A and B are shown apart, each in its own frame.
Chain A
Amino acid sequence: MLRVLLISLSVVAIARAELCKPDAQNAFKVRLSIKTALGDNAYAWDANEEYLFKAMVAFSMRRYSSKRTTQISNVLLCNVTGRVSFWFVVTDSSKNVTTVPGSEIEAAIRMNRNRINSAFLLSDKTLQFLKITSTLSPPVEPSTPAWLIVFGVVLCLIVAGIIFLVVGGIRQHKKKNKESAERESLEEKDEVTVTAENGIACESLDLKAGHINGVFAADDERFTSL
């Protein structure tokens, strides 16, 4: 009895070993880059992590198809390297010594990729299922592009500035016209002249940059003191 049991167990073990090997049918290679993702907080890959992986795959299979009653023991891992990378297959619990078709596994993994990633604190790039492409997330597009908003703000400010300057200019112009009209009426009575010096109005000479000619500034020395 014991011998039969041993023989059947070893047959099963050998059969299973043949199911899971690199490039086997329906087998997938997984590659993890834990140190790249987590740096100092990286955990070591050991048997416990492998158990978690098997559990996540079983969970994904169950979630994908309610008919499947995948057990953790159905998930076989092999060829674990120091990279960390390994191959896995999922055996069919109902039929003996066969593997679940690759397309089903792929669909199940795809559906639950997020959950698997977060279980290991990794992302699509650091937990790679070679041969299973990840779906790209759609880009976040706001309803109005951000640049139009900034553009609108900037333009409003500038137009406000222009209107302010133009209105100021018009008001100044009106004031000048009124002043010149007053001055003309005064000049008719010959009372006020605008003093000018060399074509430059005297008032502007005081306010704008003017130069003191050094030759004439020292003039008072030339006059004899009284």
Chain B
Amino acid sequence: LSVPPEIPKEDVRPQWDNKFQYILSCIGFAVGLGNVWRFPYLCQIHGGGAFLIPYLIALIFEGIPLLHLELALGQCLRKGSIGAWSTISPYLGGVGVGTWMVSVLVSLYYNTVLTWVMWYLLNSFQEPLPWSVCPLNENRTGLNEECSKSTSVNYFWYRKTLNITPDITESGTLQWWLVLCLAACWVIIYLCIIRGIETTGKAIYVTALFPYLVLTIFLIHGLTLPGATDGLAYLFTPNLNTLKNPRVWLDAATQIFFSLSLAFGGLIALASYNPPKNDCEKDAVTVALVNSMTSLYASIPVFSVLGFKATTGYWDCLDRNIISIINEFDLPEESIMRQNYTLWIDFLNSSYPEKIAGLKLKSCDLQEFLDQSVSGTGLAFIIFTQAITLMPGSQAWAILFFIMLFCLGLSSMFGNIEGVFTPLIELRIISKSMPKELLSGIICLICFFIALCFTLNSGSYWIDIFDSYATSFPLLFIAFFEVVGVVYVYKIKRFSKDVEWMTGRKLNLYWQITWRFVSPLLLLVVFTAFVALQIQKPTTYAAWDPKYEGFPMKEEKAYPPWVLAICVLLAVLPSVFIPLVALFHLIKGMCRSKDPSFASPEVFLCQGDNS
């Protein structure tokens, strides 16, 4: 047999140590902070158990097909996002650049959220927890004013952590404690990605599996807390009337989309390190199902704890009223208990209505406490931290909770950074002799310096902007072009043959139908509905201003024009590469008579020579 030409060892593409590592990396990338703090909130406000119907429909018709598409693409072409899309068709190279751009933007701000988690984690080692008590004011006559008007958890979050300014235009200075934590986070990321998947593959065992352990512990503990059943009943009681609202369907579709981390380029990068003959169909279904199961599994402890918090708040309200009544009427202690409170109130109201009115009792309603729903950082850093202070052994619970959040975010960051790292290595501007350690170090350093602007006083307002504008609109736009590009430019017949070669069996009808018609159509509808709704929404943000009359309520302020321009830029920048690159190649093709780099229809990219 003829000896093929010698391949130098450096060009050998790194591979996963085993299949489990790959699946775990994909699961870790998909399962992130949103599974814990966005899905339960959506479930709650959109009719509880009824929300699962649009969620499952979106999973089957949008989530799983797109996931399979990305994994198959990465595995077949064995390149990062930019290289992969350029190989499919040079006109689609913009899709790759767009996803790379989105990964960069997300890596920047996502790590700042991890910074906040780390700050809370480090502070959980104190007794008592710093967010459970209000500090004293300067002359030690009472509690700090800002803290006593709102709550101690709010004060710790807005003042001690963010040190937030009342307006986004007031940038303030760098907060040194956040800078330290940000540096620590980037150093941790660097440690884990220092050699690409060689090191993330080892780290992922911990960061992907530990959250499940903590969720189980919280599940068991949460179910034993008083009021847990109220919270769970509130969460899961189906209210089928909400399904008439199109907003619910849109939220389900976008939640599935962002939860699976589609169109980030990270999935393509992770799959590109697979051996080419690997069952990507089974992988896709596995990852999608595990992600959704995790969301459901995480909502149980979250809502047990929220039910506990609501019940405790309700009991506190009742107790305060009882104390006022006992003190006013000089009744013996424990004469009025929570159970006979209503009887006593009725009796006293009929006999001494003026006295009762003079006490100004607050009406205590458990529903009202349960209705206080929050998602995102508010859930983790305000509501949940408050609930933790009510549990015995709060330090341990706080430490467990924040380590879990940190691991969830870290495993998602690995996928994001791979989405940034892999295309850069393949790009010919980086010399092959540069060691991987140096490249990853440079990337982490650059990202750290840019992310310093999120540690300013107004940083959290900017993170909200990045979260709403840089990730939502471009991703839907890019995903649409991904599906259309593979199905109609690369042609679905070729792609089916490629997938058949990789998995060893023919593509069944479900994939054909969803890839050809259902998913592009669904994406188009979701995209237009999303844009229409965003345009109608007023561009305001909620500012924390201690001098506001309605404090502790947040003040609604409008974004100044220059901030709006940045929002538009963030949304447009990744998406604009698609038409730009297509135009560029069109012009190049017109200048030359024949475009030699276009993949001829006969070549199946998966099965050819992969060097």
Q: Mark B387-418, 1 if CB is under 8 A from A, else 0.
A: 00000000000000000000000000000000
Query: Contacts A138-B140, A151-B122, A166-B194 hold; do A33 and B333 have CB atoms under 8 A apart?
Result: yes
Query: In the complex, are the beta carbons of A146 and B126 less than 8 A apart?
Result: yes
Please, how many angstroms separate the alpha-carbon atoms of A129 and B15 in the complex?
74
Instruction: Say yes or no: is B142 at the interface (Cβ < 8 Å to chain A).
Output: yes
A166 to chain B: closest residue by CB: B437
Give the Cβ gap from A54 to chain B, nearest Cβ, in Å.
Answer: 21
Residues of chain B with a CB closer than 8 A to A166's CB: 194, 437
Give the Cβ gap from A35 to chain B, nearest Cβ, in Å.
Answer: 4
Query: Contacts A136-B140, A139-B136, A210-B275 hold; do A158 and B187 have CB atoms under 8 A apart?
Result: yes
Give the Cβ gap from B257 to chain A, nearest Cβ, in Å.
Answer: 30
Give the Cβ gap from B135 to chain A, nearest Cβ, in Å.
Answer: 6
Instruction: Say yes or no: is B214 at the interface (Cβ < 8 Å to chain A).
Output: no
- Of the candidates B125, B275, B333, B611, the one whose C-beta lies within 8 Å of that of A35 is B333
Residues of chain B with a CB closer than 8 A to A201's CB: 7, 9, 12
Give the Cβ gap from A13 to chain B, nearest Cβ, in Å.
Answer: 25
Query: In the complex, are the beta carbons of B4 and A196 less than 8 A apart?
Result: yes
- Of the candidates B140, B332, B437, the one whose C-beta lies within 8 Å of that of A169 is B437
Instruction: Say yes or no: is B609 at the interface (Cβ < 8 Å to chain A).
Output: yes
Query: In the complex, are the beta carbons of B334 and A165 less than 8 A apart?
Result: no
Please, how many angstroms separate the alpha-carbon atoms of A177 and B123 in the complex?
47
Please, how many angstroms separate the alpha-carbon atoms of A194 and B16 in the complex?
22
Query: In the complex, are the beta carbons of B277 and A154 less than 8 A apart?
Result: no
Residues of chain B with a CB closer than 8 A to A83's CB: 326-327, 330-333
Residues of chain A with a CB closer than 8 A to B4's CB: 196-199
Please, how many angstroms separate the alpha-carbon atoms of A34 and B326 in the complex?
14
Q: Mark A199-215, 1 if CB is under 8 A from B, else 0.
A: 11100100011110110
Please, how many angstroms separate the alpha-carbon atoms of A151 and B331 in the complex?
52
Q: Mark A93-127, 1 if CB is under 8 A from B, else 0.
A: 00000000000000000000000000000000000
Classify the interface of chain B: helix, strand, loop or mixed: loop
Residues of chain B with a CB closer than 8 A to A159's CB: 187
Give the Cβ gap from A141 to chain B, nearest Cβ, in Å.
Answer: 10
Q: Mark A11-52, 1 if CB is under 8 A from B, else 0.
A: 000000000000000000001011110000000000000000
Please, how many angstroms separate the alpha-carbon atoms of A83 and B328 in the complex?
10
A159 to chain B: closest residue by CB: B187
Q: Mark B164-208, 1 if CB is under 8 A from A, else 0.
A: 000000000000000011001001101100110001000000000
Query: In the complex, are the beta carbons of B275 and A208 less than 8 A apart?
Result: yes
Q: Mark B428-452, 1 if CB is under 8 A from A, else 0.
A: 0000000111000000000000000
Give the Cβ gap from B601 to chain A, nearest Cβ, in Å.
Answer: 23
Residues of chain A with a CB closer than 8 A to B136's CB: 136, 138-139
Instruction: Say yes or no: is B278 at the interface (Cβ < 8 Å to chain A).
Output: yes
Residues of chain A with a CB closer than 8 A to B327's CB: 31, 83, 85
Residues of chain B with a CB closer than 8 A to A214's CB: 504
Query: In the complex, are the beta carbons of B610 and A199 less than 8 A apart?
Result: yes
Residues of chain A with a CB closer than 8 A to B435's CB: 169, 173
Instruction: Say yes or no: is B6 at the interface (Cβ < 8 Å to chain A).
Output: yes
Please, how many angstroms separate the alpha-carbon atoms of A214 and B503 in the complex?
12
Please, how many angstroms separate the alpha-carbon atoms of A161 and B195 in the complex?
13
B19 to chain A: closest residue by CB: A209
Instruction: Say yes or no: is B18 at the interface (Cβ < 8 Å to chain A).
Output: yes
Please, how many angstroms separate the alpha-carbon atoms of A136 and B140 in the complex?
7
Instruction: Say yes or no: is A176 at the interface (Cβ < 8 Å to chain B).
Output: yes
Instruction: Say yes or no: is A81 at the interface (Cβ < 8 Å to chain B).
Output: yes
Query: In the complex, are the beta carbons of A150 and B122 less than 8 A apart?
Result: yes
Residues of chain B with a CB closer than 8 A to A200's CB: 7, 12
Query: In the complex, are the beta carbons of A169 and B195 less than 8 A apart?
Result: yes
- Of the candidates A82, A155, A165, A197, the one whose C-beta lies within 8 Å of that of B199 is A165
Give the Cβ gap from A50 to chain B, nearest Cβ, in Å.
Answer: 16
Query: In the complex, are the beta carbons of B333 and A34 less than 8 A apart?
Result: yes
Instruction: Say yes or no: is B3 at the interface (Cβ < 8 Å to chain A).
Output: yes
Instruction: Say yes or no: is B316 at the interface (Cβ < 8 Å to chain A).
Output: no
Query: Contacts A151-B122, A211-B278 hold; do A158 and B17 have CB atoms under 8 A apart?
Result: no
Please, how many angstroms separate the alpha-carbon atoms of A199 and B5 in the complex?
9
Please, how many angstroms separate the alpha-carbon atoms of A173 and B333 in the complex?
78
- Of the candidates B7, B123, B437, the one whose C-beta lies within 8 Å of that of A194 is B7
Instruction: Say yes or no: is A147 at the interface (Cβ < 8 Å to chain B).
Output: yes
Give the Cβ gap from B101 to chain A, nearest Cβ, in Å.
Answer: 28
B567-611 residues with Cβ-Cβ distance < 8 A to A are 609-611
Instruction: Say yes or no: is A195 at the interface (Cβ < 8 Å to chain B).
Output: yes
Residues of chain A with a CB closer than 8 A to B191's CB: 158, 161-162, 165
Residues of chain A with a CB closer than 8 A to B123's CB: 146-147
Residues of chain B with a CB closer than 8 A to A211's CB: 275, 277-278
Give the Cβ gap from A129 to chain B, nearest Cβ, in Å.
Answer: 14
Query: Contacts A82-B331, A147-B125 hold; do A204 and B15 have CB atoms under 8 A apart?
Result: yes
Please, how many angstroms separate the alpha-carbon atoms of A33 and B327 in the complex?
10
Query: Contacts A196-B7, A208-B15 hold; do A147 and B331 have CB atoms under 8 A apart?
Result: no
Residues of chain A with a CB closer than 8 A to B125's CB: 146-147, 150
A162-205 residues with Cβ-Cβ distance < 8 A to B are 162, 165-166, 169, 173, 176, 180, 193-201, 204
Please, how many angstroms separate the alpha-carbon atoms of A166 and B194 in the complex?
8
Residues of chain B with a CB closer than 8 A to A161's CB: 191
Residues of chain B with a CB closer than 8 A to A173's CB: 435
Residues of chain A with a CB closer than 8 A to B135's CB: 139
Give the Cβ gap from B426 to chain A, nearest Cβ, in Å.
Answer: 15
Chain A positions near chain B (C-beta within 8 angstroms):
31, 33-36, 81-85, 135-136, 138-139, 146-147, 150-151, 154-155, 158-159, 161-162, 165-166, 169, 173, 176, 180, 193-201, 204, 208-211, 213-214
Query: Contacts A154-B184, A196-B4, A199-B610 given; 10 further ones with Cβ under 8 A?
Result: A83-B331, A83-B333, A138-B136, A150-B125, A162-B187, A165-B194, A194-B7, A194-B9, A209-B278, A211-B278
Chain B positions near chain A (C-beta within 8 angstroms):
3-9, 12, 15-19, 119, 122-123, 125-126, 135-136, 140-142, 180-181, 184, 187-188, 190-191, 194-195, 199, 274-275, 277-278, 326-327, 330-334, 435-437, 504, 609-611
A-B contact pairs, 13 of them (CB 8 A): A36-B333, A136-B136, A147-B119, A147-B125, A155-B184, A158-B187, A165-B195, A194-B7, A199-B7, A201-B7, A201-B12, A209-B18, A209-B19
